[in-house]
Structure 1
Amino acid sequence: MAVRLFEGSDHAEAYLKFRVAPQELIGIIMSFMEKRTRNFHLAVDVGCGSGQGTTLLAPFFTEVVGTDVSPAQLQLAPTDGGPSNVSYRQCPAEELPFECEEVDLVTAMTAAHWFDHRRFLHEAYRVLRPGGCLALLSYTMDMELEYGDVSKTLNDICKEFYAALFPYRNPHIGSNSVEIYAGMFHSCPYPDKEWNECLRVRRHVPLSGFIAMVETFSSYRSLKETDPAEAAQLSSRLRNKLLAVMKTSSPDAEVIMIVKYFYWLARKP
């Protein structure tokens, strides 16, 4: 990877527990592939973290390999009790340990914005078979909440929280990660490709789970490293304001969290 983050054990554990696994996106990826190829032997999930998305590919391929540069993330990947056809390797996204034209699918789920984009696309081209597919997906940090008739007020509070974190975004990803993926999409030379800017994924979660998820954001972790007290106070203010509007004292109250995914898919000629 061009940038190394998510390497502390506590951050890796929180990432595994609270991040959203993109089940809906797997169906879209497989539908794209099934219309274009009969090869479903090897899938490689690059920047796999703790394997939340990697294992979702297991039913569709003979072999699935997750790769990540972070040993802390890979230590939490389910090697025991997980799908028998899934394994993991530690390596940079730009140096994949596969032969030329060996791979049927290369994915990167909420990870490609940290890569050296030019080198990664070149490496994906190298390892993909002719007719193999590349699938890159991520989501924006402006998640929304639904709860009774106070959803708008809740989301106004969330926007304040996101704005407070904005100055702590890593400069590598700039102000808008959608633009990063759009740039990669346009630079990808494959003529057969598709772009989708917003797929709304809904999850029922306790309010505490939503707050814990936003605390895994790299911008929040950066604030926490810079000023731990301010990070804790910011999170506490968010929780208390949301609870007051919801008229409940329980952080376990269930809300609907809406995550806005964007993705692009491409087939190597």
Structure 2
Amino acid sequence: MIRVYENEDITKLYVEFRPKFQECVVERVLKFCNEHQQSENDNQDLMVDVACGSGQAASAFQKHFKRIVGIDVSTNQIKEARLANEYDNIKYEVGTAENIPLGENSVNLLVSATACHRFDLEKFFTEAKRVMKPDGCMALFSYNAPRIIPKNVKDPARRQELSDKTTGILVKYHDIVNDEQSNVHQNNKYQDIYKNIYAENKQWITEDLVMKRDWNLEQLIGFLRSLAAYQEYMKMMKEEHKDASEEEVKKWDRAVLLRDFVKREWEMEEVKDEDVMMEAHFHVYLVLANKLK
């Protein structure tokens, strides 16, 4: 497993700026489960969220299961998840995708959100089959950089132009540095992962699941800083330029560059970050599987 979200700084950014998964994703997953599992009541017992981070997916499914266990390799992520947890039926434990701390044939639904592209997939699928019930379901889903749409720009053509440019920059900064496995799986929207799952029933969804959030510039910058790509890039650059001044760092700090671009191109240089409003559209892609072989 590739470990990138473990230090305390990034986990705090993660819990504050990563979007929680919306009901449209939950409904699509549960629809698949109800179509392929033997009993609708039976599939409400136990869900496990593998590489749960600070609980964005686990909390989204909270009302649909009697018990939910979120596991993550990062003790800092588990700490943040526990601090944010408001539900008696969710608990968080340290664990890995390749060694899930649950018994055999115990899980009705196994979920992994924005994470499985970093797993040792062969070991993960073996472990998933071990813990899932014979008719259990799996849902693996993620999103890439969101489309950013200015809300303060009235002219439709200008709004589209700025949306394309801003989203293009965010996509460029979204790539994981020196992580070819993650890049491949995310760029093809989990197509290879879907092909490599052996199951009696499976489905690959890449269209029509869009989570929309009202954001401001402060939240956009926070999201960027929560990405492994940003953290790894900044670490690499600081190691290469150990004597760089604060002003020199700003020239290649992607968060600063993105903020400057938005303020300049959106003609909002005198506006506070929290007042620069936008929509963020996260296009979710989803792999569903039932009865692993």
What's the TM-score once normalised by structure 2's chain length? Answer: 0.84
Task: Give the 5 Å matches for 1:31-46.
Answer: 31-37=31-37, 38=39, 39=42, 40-46=44-50
Displacement of 1:78 in angstroms is 3.3
- Asked if 1:64 corresponds to 2:64, the answer is no
| Gap change, CA 1:230 and 1:173, over 3 Å in 2 | farther
User: Which of 230, 247, 258 is equivalent to 1:238?
Assistant: 258
Q: In the aligned structure 1, how far is the partner of 2:72 from the partner of 2:250? A: 31
Matched letter for residue 28 of structure 2: I
- Asked if 1:47 corresponds to 2:56, the answer is no
Q: In the aligned structure 1, how far is the partner of 2:201 from the partner of 2:288? A: 8
Q: Is the 8 A contact 1:161 1:234 kept in 2?
A: no
Partner of 2:25: 25
Describe the SS at the equivalent of 2:109. strand
Task: Give the 5 Å matches for 1:163-242.
Answer: 163=172, 166=175, 168-179=177-188, 181-198=190-207, 199-228=209-238, 229=249, 233-242=253-262
Q: Is the 8 A contact 1:43 1:61 kept in 2?
A: yes
Displacement of 1:120 in angstroms is 0.6
Q: Is the 8 A contact 1:173 1:180 kept in 2?
A: no
Matched letter for residue 16 of structure 2: K
Describe the SS at the equivalent of 1:77. helix
Q: Which is worse superposed, 93-102 or 72-81?
A: 72-81
Any idea what the Cα deviations from partners look like across 1:211-241, whole Å, max 9, x if unmatched? 2102211111111111242586332221122
Over the matched positions of the two proteins, sequence identity in percent amounts to: 23
* Structure 1 unpaired stretches of 5+: none
Describe the SS at the equivalent of 2:263. helix
| Gap change, CA 1:185 and 1:165, over 3 Å in 2 | closer
Any idea what the Cα deviations from partners look like across 1:118-137, whole Å, max 9, x if unmatched? 11111111111121100000
Q: Is the 8 A contact 1:54 1:66 kept in 2?
A: yes
Partner of 2:244: none
* Structure 2 unpaired stretches of 5+: 239-248
Partner of 2:97: 93
Q: Which is worse superposed, 106-115 or 35-44?
A: 35-44
Task: Give the 5 Å matches for 1:95-134.
Answer: 95-134=99-138
Q: In the aligned structure 2, how far is the partner of 1:63 from the partner of 1:21? A: 19
| Gap change, CA 1:167 and 1:81, over 3 Å in 2 | closer
Q: Is the 8 A contact 1:79 1:87 kept in 2?
A: no
Q: Is the 8 A contact 1:41 1:63 kept in 2?
A: yes
| Gap change, CA 1:61 and 1:160, over 3 Å in 2 | closer
Matched letter for residue 200 of structure 1: V
Displacement of 1:267 in angstroms is 1.0
Displacement of 1:87 in angstroms is 0.7
Displacement of 1:179 in angstroms is 3.3
Number of equivalent positions: 267
Displacement of 1:162 in angstroms is 3.5
Any idea what the Cα deviations from partners look like across 1:49-101, whole Å, max 9, x if unmatched? 11121122221111100000000100001357611011111111111112211
The CA RMSD measured in Å over matched residues stands at: 2.1
What's the TM-score once normalised by structure 1's chain length? Answer: 0.91
Q: Is the 8 A contact 1:3 1:115 kept in 2?
A: yes
Describe the SS at the equivalent of 1:76. helix
Any idea what the Cα deviations from partners look like across 1:172-192, whole Å, max 9, x if unmatched? 323451437221211111131
Q: In the aligned structure 2, how far is the partner of 1:27 from the partner of 1:86? A: 19
| Gap change, CA 1:33 and 1:166, over 3 Å in 2 | closer
Q: In the aligned structure 2, how far is the partner of 1:70 from the partner of 1:80? A: 16
Displacement of 1:34 in angstroms is 2.0
Runs of 4 or more consecutive aligned structure 1 residues displaced over 6 Å after TM superposition: none
Describe the SS at the equivalent of 2:262. helix
